[in-house]
Amino acid sequence: MSTLTAREAAALLRLSVRRVQRLASARKLPAARIGRKWLFRREELDRLLGARASELAAAPVELSARNQLRGRITSVRADGVMAEVRVRIGDQELVSIITSGSVRRLRLKRGDDVFAVIKSTEVMIGKG
């Protein structure tokens, strides 16, 4: 039986260490706490990767931003360092310009369910 630290489990699940610790603490991720450290059985995480990896990754992220809109990616176009990601939210389309590295790291592709976070100190409204 192989055990992993929180850091190793986070790398395997492609989540932050803090996120893995919170999921373990909330009993949403099987783990054992030994003293101040969380330990994870590799076999259990491998089993979860087949069944619940997308569920764990899609769990709500705690952010200070209140404007979080769920949608589905309609297109991803990377060109050099930057990428354009189009997200369908209801009958509207939102366009986000992010780094190509973020597209690769998050493995964004057409059809993925995502959420857009809008954080701004100013909102403009136009008419006709």
pTM (2 decimals)?
0.50
DSSP state of 22: H
Domains defined for the chain, CATH in brackets? 3-57 (1.10.1660), 67-118 (2.40.50.100)
For the stretch 85-102, pLDDT in tens is 999 988 899 899 999 988
pLDDT at 111: 93
Query: Using an 8 Å Cβ cutoff, are 4 and 40 in contact?
Result: yes
Confidence of residue 114 (pLDDT cuts 50, 70, 90): confident
Q: What is the mean pLDDT of residues 1-28?
A: 88
Confidence of residue 33 (pLDDT cuts 50, 70, 90): very high
